[in-house]
Each structure stands twice: as C-alpha cells, then as structure tokens.
C-alpha cells in the first residue's frame, strides 16, 4: 500500500468516506476496511458510537453532536511512530482553533484542551501495516448528556464559540490539517516536536504519571526526540515515560484522562 506522506508526496485524506448513523466504534470499522484493502486516507465517521473507546482501555462517551471519526494511514515503519500521535494532536488543536478562539493546548500525549476543558481525544491503533487514527471532537455536545465525571472536565466547541458548528466543516478542516501534519511528520520529527511543544500545557508544572509501574512524580519537562514525556523527579533525575496518564498535582484544574 502506498503511503502519500511516506513517499514524500502530500497525503490525500478523505477518500473513500464512510459516514454512518450508529456504530460500535469507528476504529473497528476502519480496521475492517484495512482487511478489505482500503487505501490510505479512507475515513469512517459515525453520528453516534455505542462502544466508543478511549486511551488506556477507557470507554469514550460518543452521543450525537460529536465528530467521531477514524482515518486510515499506512506510514513507513522506519519513521518515529511515537511522534505520530503528537502530530495528530497538533492537527486536532489547529482544527479546533479554526472554529473557536484558542489557544488549544495539548496535555501529553494527545488530549486537546481549551480553557482547561478537554474538547478532543485521540486513540491510535495499529492494524497490520496500517495505523488507525481515531479522533473524537466534542463539536456540538450538550454536556448534560455526558456521564457526570466526563462533563465535569469536558468542553464542546459550540459552547466555547457560542454558536452552532457544522461537523462536516470540522471534518474537512481536520483532514486538511492532518494531511499537512502527517506529511511534516514523514519529512522529519523536528517540526512536529516544535509545534507540539508550543502547545504543551504541562511544561514546568508538578505532575504525577500513572503508568504500568509505580506512579512517577515530578516536574514535567517537555518531550524527548521520540515523544516520551520527561519528568524531573525530586532527586533531580529525569524519567522518560512512553505511555500513561498524567495528572497535574496542583493547578487550576485536573481534566486529564
């Protein structure tokens, strides 16, 4: 399968486009499309998901009003895969800012927040040689329909903008930003790291990282070349975390997860 970005061409994303009313998870249908030989750029969108998935095995509430979509990519295996999820986060943050006053900031690795509220999440899964990029953006979600623990820390673009926003327009903007950022990622990681770092909301703050081992506490010090989170612990040592959940130990809000 030829990957546009991986061959140095601008990636074209958005064809074929499958938009359905209700699905378990768009990531699952996208995985089936891989098996059916669908090309890079194929997109699945659902109005609602009944079994939406989030990071770290969590459920992702997906009622009507959100943009729930998955994009198929076939990146070259030689490229730094850890930075791809950060490139997607940058694309999603840039997309959100086209519809609402920003800034959209990123909580490592790829939660997108505006004014301390999470407006989008990203779940990247592999399927053979393919990568399924699942993106959930709260475009027109009424927060009272979300589970209370989600509503307490979530935001929705239409509430921030104070006007209705078309999901189709958000999808088009997302695919354009994603194509750009995907190509930049394929051309070399530096541009991705710089763009991500300029939106890093944790840098310099005290954090606790929950991961497979004992929790790590310290000051967040940005990312390394592979996209791992750097934490300076009380001893002055730097720990590097490739996967986990980050909680701000103190600060204006703690909308992680």
* DSSP category for residue 53: B
Range 125-184, binding ligand BTN (CB under 6 A): 134-136
Return the number of the residue (4 or 109) whose C-beta is nearest ligand BTN: 109
**Token pair 């009507």 is at which residue?**
64
Q: Does 31 bind ligand BTN (CB under 6 A)?
A: no
Please select the residue that binds ligand BTN; options are 5, 49, 173, 244, rule is CB under 6 A.
49
CB-CB contact of 24 with 53 (8 Å): no
User: In terms of Cα–Cα distance, which of 249, 234, 247 is closest to 107?
Assistant: 247
User: In terms of Cα–Cα distance, which of 174, 137, 143 is closest to 159?
Assistant: 143
Return the number of the residue (60 or 185) whose C-beta is nearest ligand BTN: 60
Q: How far is the CB of 79 from ligand BTN (least distance, A)?
A: 22
Return the number of the residue (126 or 233) whose C-beta is nearest ligand BTN: 126
Return the number of the residue (85 or 183) whose C-beta is nearest ligand BTN: 85
Q: How far is the CB of 151 from ligand BTN (least distance, A)?
A: 15
Instruction: Give the residue closest to ligand BTN by C-beta.
Output: 121
CB-CB contact of 133 with 88 (8 Å): yes
Range 54-93, binding ligand BTN (CB under 6 A): 54-55, 58, 60, 62, 68-70
CB-CB contact of 183 with 11 (8 Å): yes
3-state helix, strand, coil in the chain (%, to 5): 30, 30, 40
Q: List C-alpha distances in Å: 215 to 124, 209, 211, 244, 246.
A: 24, 5, 6, 10, 10
Binding-site ranges for ligand BTN (CB under 6 A):
25-27, 49, 52-55, 58, 60, 62, 68-70, 111, 121-123, 134-136
């Amino acid at each position: 399968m030829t990957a546009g970005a991986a061959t140095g061409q601008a990636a074209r994303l958005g064809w074929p486009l499958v938009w359905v009313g209700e699905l378990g998870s768009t990531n699952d249908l996208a995985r089936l499309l891989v098996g059916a030989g669908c090309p890079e750029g194929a997109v699945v969108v659902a109005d609602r998901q009944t079994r939406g998935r989030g990071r770290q095995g969590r459920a992702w509430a997906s009622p009507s009003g959100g943009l729930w979509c998955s994009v198929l990519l076939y990146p070259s295996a030689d490229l730094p895969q850890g930075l791809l999820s950060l490139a997607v986060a940058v694309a999603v943050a840039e997309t959100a800012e086209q519809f609402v006053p920003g800034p959209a900031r990123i909580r490592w690795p790829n939660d997108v927040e505006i004014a301390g509220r999470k407006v989008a999440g990203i779940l990247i899964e592999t399927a053979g040689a393919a990568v399924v990029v699942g993106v959930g953006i709260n475009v027109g979600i009424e927060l009272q329909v979300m589970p209370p623990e989600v509503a307490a820390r979530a935001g929705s673009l239409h509430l921030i903008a104070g006007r209705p926003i078309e999901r189709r327009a958000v999808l088009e903007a997302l695919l354009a930003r994603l194509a750009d950022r995907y190509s930049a990622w394929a051309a070399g990681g530096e541009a991705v790291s710089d763009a991500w770092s300029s939106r890093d909301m944790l840098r310099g703050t005290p954090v606790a990282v929950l991961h497979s081992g004992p929790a790590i506490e310290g000051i967040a010090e940005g990312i390394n070349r592979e996209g791992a989170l750097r934490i300076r612990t009380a001893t002055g040592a730097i720990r590097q975390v490739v996967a986990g959940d980050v909680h701000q130990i103190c600060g204006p809000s703690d909308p992680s997860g």
